[in-house]
Amino acid sequence: MRLIYTVGPSGVGKDSLLNGLRQHINAMANRPALHFAQRTITRNHDKSNEDHEAVNVAKFAKLQEEKAFALAWVANGLHYGIRHTELTPQGDGSWVIVNGSRGYLDEARKRLPGLTVLHITAPIEVLRQRLLARGRESEKDIEQRLLRPESVLLGPQDLCLSNGGTLEASGLALRQLLSLHTGLPL
């Protein structure tokens, strides 16, 4: 399986790091075989820096009923799905990156054995500052979120990256880590 399932707490910078990686790859003359799976989310486009398919809850339920999703979960009051078609580039030898959920990780591992987990972390104070700056939640909600356990059981094929510094430094570290793991020139 050539799938990288990215997880980490809210505010850790998953979207920012993945967007930076996507921009870096798009600027390369010889683009490596790396596909970013687009998520279907019950959220408006204007509330995220992630390129996603925005749907309402009824449409999401209909898609789920039609078995359109290879992976689907609920987190932080939103529904998330990865369509089967977003995982098909694996068939041509490409790597696929999914922005996933820690709470759905066990199920994702059952559905897609052999996936590689990319666990992104950051110090709690960095998370607090990022969540406050984002302005989506009250301070009380942020503190509750920060109390959630950070347990992610990593296997020998899994990866971990700290995003506690600058986006540029973490972006470079991500490219180096993924290049070593996938063999792709990033």
- In the chain the domains, ranked by start, together with CATH numbers, are 3-40+88-181 (3.40.50.300)
pLDDT digits (tens, 9 = 90+) for 74-124: 988 899 999 999 998 766 778 999 999 999 999 999 999 999 999 999 999
Reported as type and span, the H/E element at residue 3 is strand 3-7
CA distances from 164 to 8, 58, 77, 126 (A): 12, 38, 26, 6
What beta strand segments (E) does 27-167 contain?
Answer: 34-36, 39-41, 53-54, 69-75, 78-83, 95-99, 116-121, 159-162
pLDDT of 151 reads 75
Using the predicted structure, report yes or no on whether residue 45 has a pLDDT greater than 70: no
β partners of residue 67: none
How would you classify the pairing of strands 116-121 and 159-162?
Answer: parallel
pLDDT digits (tens, 9 = 90+) for 147-159: 887 778 899 999 9
Where does residue 81 fall: left (phi above 0), alpha (psi -120 to 50 degrees), or beta otherwise? Answer: beta
Using the predicted structure, report yes or no on whether residue 47 has a pLDDT greater than 60: no
Q: Flag whether the pTM goes above 0.85.
A: yes
pLDDT of 145 reads 87
Instruction: Give the integer Cα–Cα distance in Å for 55 and 83.
Output: 13
